[in-house]
Structure 1
Amino acid sequence: MPRPIAHSASVPAPVDKVHAALVSEQYWKDRIEEIGGPSARLVSVHAINGTISVVMSQSIPEEELPAAVTAFKKGPLVIERTESWGPLGGNRAEGKFGATVEGAPASVSGATLLEGSAEASTMSLSGTTEVKVPIFGGKIEAMISEQVLSLIDNEHGFTAKWIAENLS
């Protein structure tokens, strides 16, 4: 049964600057390099007319995985992530995110929202984590949800720093 996830974070920057970062190819290159982890890479970036679609590959070494995961998946956990952002309309932009795990019946998907003003912005997401593994699925979903939310916190912190360094 899918497990819901939700997250919201403030970014101390105007909504137009946050959106400008999110639809910048350089932002994604810098983000994957700084916080992407071992073997992280951008698979593709398509930016056009204030929108973007990104595909990233990231991995978690086997030694860092809990036993519940290594029981059904040997080797590193390779995760393909997608994120897209639409145009800024007024003071908001909508997007989508997703992730799949190579060789495992696990996925994360949902919607993102950027809202704000000339002073500050809020980035939020809502979605689900689903692992189709009998008995252990719920436990693995909980672990994935926790890891995803921790990663998103890091990414929002990176976004604020990147804007301050590149768009001020």
Structure 2
Amino acid sequence: MASKMEHAVSYPFSVQRLWEVLTTEQYWHDLLEAINASHGVLESFHHVDDTVTVYLKQGVPADKLPSMVSAALSGDAHIPRHNTFTWAGDRITGEITATVAGTPAKVHGTVLTSNDPATTRYSATVEVPIPFVGGKIEKAIIEQLIALLDAEHENTMNWEATNR
């Protein structure tokens, strides 16, 4: 059974300005450097018309993983992630998918940014189909995902303030 996650963050600037940030390749490089320097890599960045597609790899060092997760992995957690964002008039819609390499863990979510100032709402499903412990691992992933989204939010605000 999958677990659900809902999370929201607000920015002190407009949806249009957030779109300008998300469509800047350097932002993604700087974001990964700030929040995941030892494990983060921007695999590809494509901005065509009203769509931005970002492939990146992130990771969590083995010593930072919850014990039930580290027991299932041998070493660091490597997390391929795919983000697609679309400018839709006065809002940004998107999809985010992620996996944990070497495990059956999957994350699939949607993103909606609207209002002025901008508020981004994340809705995701986390699935780890492992009998008995899957639900506990899903909850641990959700906790880590929320911490990651909050770190990205903080760094996005900092990046925007220094790159006006």
Please tell me the TM-score bracket, short chain as reference.
Answer: over 0.9
Aligned-partner SS, 1:16: helix
Question: How big is the shift at 1:60?
Answer: 1.1
How many residues were matched structurally? 164
Asked if 1:147 is matched to 2:144, the reply is yes
Q: Within 2, Cα distance between the matches of 1:163 and 1:64?
A: 29
For 2:106 and 2:37, locate their aligned partners in 1 and report how far apart those are by CA, in whole Å: 19
Task: State whether structure 2 residue 33 is matched by structure 1 residue 40.
Answer: no
Counterpart of 1:26? 26
Q: Encode CA deviations 1:67-96: one digit per residue, 9 max, x unaligned.
A: 21122211111001111110241x211011
**2:124 aligned partner:** 127
Per-residue deviation, residues 87-118 of structure 1 (Å, max 9, x unmatched) = 241x211011111011101011110011122x
How many Å separate the matches in 1 of 2:5 and 2:52? 23
Query: Any idea what SS the aligned residue of 1:13 has?
Result: coil
Q: By how many angstroms is 1:66 displaced?
A: 1.8
CA RMSD of aligned residues (A): 1.1
Give the percent of matched residue pairs that are identical in Structure 1 and Structure 2.
37
Q: Equivalents in 2 of 1:140, 1:48: separation in Å?
A: 37
Q: TM-score, normalised on structure 2?
A: 0.95
Q: Match for residue 113 of structure 2?
A: 114
Report whether the alignment pairs 1:157 with 2:154: yes
**Residue 10 (structure 1) aligns with:** 10
2:87 match: secondary structure: coil
- Higher mean alpha-carbon deviation, 135-144 vs 49-58, is at 49-58
CA contact (8 A) 2:107 2:124 kept: yes
Q: SS at 1:104's partner residue?
A: coil
**CA-to-partner distance for each residue in 1:25-68, whole Å, 9 max, x for gaps?**
11111111111242210011111123210111111111221221
Is there any run of 5+ residues in structure 2 with no aligned partner, and where? Answer: none
CA distance in 2 between counterparts of 1:10 and 1:100 reads 26
